[in-house]
Structure 1
């Protein structure tokens, strides 16, 4: 990786209950908002397994347990579409999580807001990160490879 690119390793939790998925909103650098999965960046020396549990709790108020690994996704955001104006690679590790305890609440002093249960049949209507679609494909299809095809960006789907 050179100075003209960046990389981020992140872990995301997909929680589905009663035909609804738990999503959070993020505010982008341009002021717009979109829906995404609870999760976030893996800290130095942190295990991604621990990251997803930590981030899920921080962003939703629920304590979760990992049910299973769903898969890994790598996507590159071209320089012209990245807010950093350099090519950016996001490597996401997706886990199926179950809620153990807690209560739904806003993240304190964080980048995410409005944790909300969204009916699975309403997700396609949302302005959302492609991470949502990747996570749901991994959850529904459970590919042996842990990999699904790239999600096209456009319309309500963004990087």
Structure 2
């Protein structure tokens, strides 16, 4: 049986003038747009993670305005291992810094996209979840999905 692992990640939903801030993930054989944020380090609070990750990936300093919700997915890594990922989504606003791209990290670009154009991007399921959490603001912090959530890259 393959080793089963868990990962917790925290993401920021930053909107301005009908635009959303995204970062481009760069993997071994893939690139896609995703929400700015990333893995919670051992002993780190997810709130601190999202502030740290935003600064690393985009150059922006943020103020976290609230927890939008939490989703949970199980998927299979390229190496064939099952991975359970718990993702926390925070509403945030920019309070300082300037847009810049991450160097030497898991992303290579940061950019603002009009909300109307997001559906045409190659993007991770984190973007879909983030937009739904922002729009629906479920009191339970949980989104209902018609199908089980999997790690998928969505594109036009």
Q: Report the TM-score, using the length of structure 1 for normalisation.
A: 0.89
Q: How many residues end up aligned between the 2 structures? A: 153
Structure 2 counterparts to residues 8-157 of structure 1, below 5 A? 8-29=7-28, 31-77=29-75, 79=76, 82-150=77-145, 157=154
Post-superposition, which runs of at least 4 consecutive aligned residues in structure 1 deviate over 2 A?
A: 149-156
- Cα separation, partners in 2 of 1:64 and 1:126, compared to 1, 3 Å: same
What is the Cα-based RMSD across aligned positions, in Å?
2.0
Q: Secondary structure at the match of 1:108?
A: coil
Q: Secondary structure at the match of 2:25?
A: strand
Q: Secondary structure at the match of 2:129?
A: helix
Shift of 1:113: 1.6
Q: Report the TM-score, using the length of structure 2 for normalisation.
A: 0.91
User: What is the alpha-carbon distance in structure 1 between the residues aligned to residue 47 and residue 150 of structure 2?
Assistant: 28
Shift of 1:18: 0.4
Shift of 1:147: 1.0
